[in-house]
Structure 1
Amino acid sequence: MDDKQPRPAETRRITDVGTLKALGHPLRLKLYGRLRAAGTATASQLAAQVDEAVSLVSYHLRKLAEHGLIEEADAQSGDARERWWRAAQDNLSFRHEDFKDTPEGVAAHSAIIRRLIAHRHEQYETYLDQQTAWGERWREAADQSDFLARLNPAELTSLNAEIHALVRTYEERGKAAEAAGDTAGRENVAVHLASFPFRL
């Protein structure tokens, strides 16, 4: 399937420890993230982006594919030797409730969340290091906010659902615009959300 032919919006909920651990490897998380952003890529392209050997990247791509996290994509060039990959779904989710019954599950869930937080922190710090190069319009559009609300669990669930739905609306709007040829000025934009209770 060509990467210009979008997949239907899909979120896969990971509920088995094996798949969670496969995704939780630091290099595999990075490769999966690159594929989500790029649409499609080869092992050679990804290896250059993450500064690793092509053979190592190919190995980890195969591991992601074994767990249905990525899949082969149609060739984007005339080189039949190249194997193209893409994410097998638009989004992934993994909930503590699905892993709380075993120490291994709890540890795997905690580890991948911590790695994701570290990756997001690194991603934002990279933007901060490069923000001058982005120009005034992008700097004014970028945001880092912190909110404090007094909610119960049902209200927090509802808030998260509304925020997710709003972001998805913009995701689909961007895809439709690009499909219609409106690509000028468009960049990948990371939207990170963390909502959790705390006590003083």
Structure 2
Amino acid sequence: MAEKENRRITDLGTLKALAHPLRMKLYRLLFVAEAATASQLAEQVDEAVSLVSYHLRKLAEHGLVEEAEPRSGDARERWWQPATGGVTVRDEDFRDAPEKAAAHLAASRLFQDQRSEMYRTYLDQRAHWGTAWNEAASDSESLLRLTPAELTELQKELLDVVKRHDDRARARAAAGETEGRENVALHVYGFPFRV
């Protein structure tokens, strides 16, 4: 997939379109696959093809996914791909009205729940991943004492490191280095708390 820009979601309609449990799963699966048909995605989420097609069209209405070039000779198949290189949803874009703040909170909780479920699935299946992947997988917690500006700087530095590694890995995969390569989720949270 050609490198696409990350899209910052600032409108309530697009946030609500993405913040549907099945749509978010479909978006994530499509992002990982780079392109897929509704039939392929339906198998992965154990839902009817017609339901998956409906939700893909809803995501497309908000510019989150788009039709892709066909990857097979079957003209009846409709291929889909992410329309952007990812999405960003920020609290500051949804603070100006109670309905927006509530929708952002609900979306954030859904995203967190799905990320936690991804990690729980890995934990349940880790015996099947083998020693190398289990030694490479990480789970850590750091308790820091920072200012908002320092946390912002830390977040930017971490995202820069992640992007550098992603760019390198994609280039290697494009060059044919696919042996041992798997999808990897990296979830990082930085938030204040009081004890």
* TM bracket (short chain): over 0.9
Q: Distance in 2 between matches of 1:7 and 1:162?
A: 24
Corresponding pairs, count: 195
- Give the Cα–Cα distance (whole angstroms) in 2 for the partners of residues 96 and 17 of structure 1: 12
Match among 9, 31, 36 for residue 41 of structure 1: 36
Residue 87 of structure 2 aligns to a residue whose secondary structure is strand
In 1, the alpha carbon distance for the partners of 2:159 and 2:118 equals 20
In structure 1, runs of 5+ residues without a counterpart are: 1-5
Q: Partner letter of residue 18 of structure 1? A: G
For 1:113, the equivalent position in structure 2 comes to: 108
Give 3-state SS (helix, strand or coil) of 1:32's partner: helix
Which residues in structure 2 correspond to 1:2-81 (within 5 Å)? 6-81=1-76
- Please show how residues 1-200 of structure 1 align to structure 2 within 5 Å: 6-200=1-195
Structure 1 runs, 4 residues or longer, greater than 6 Å off: none
CA positional deviation for 1:7: 2.3
TM-score relative to the length of structure 1: 0.96
CA shift, 1:8, in A, is: 2.1
1:197 alignment partner AA: P
User: Residue type matched to 1:140 in 2?
Assistant: E
For 1:104 and 1:44, locate their aligned partners in 2 and report how far apart those are by CA, in whole Å.
35
TM-score, reference length from structure 2 = 0.98
Partners of 1:72 and 1:92 lie apart in 2 by 18
Q: Whole-Å Cα distance in 1 between the matches of residues 72 and 116 of structure 2?
A: 35
SS at match of 1:35: helix
Q: What residue identity is the alignment partner of 1:20? A: L
SS of the equivalent of 2:190 reads: coil
Report the CA distance between 1:33 and its aligned residue. 0.5
* % same residue: 60
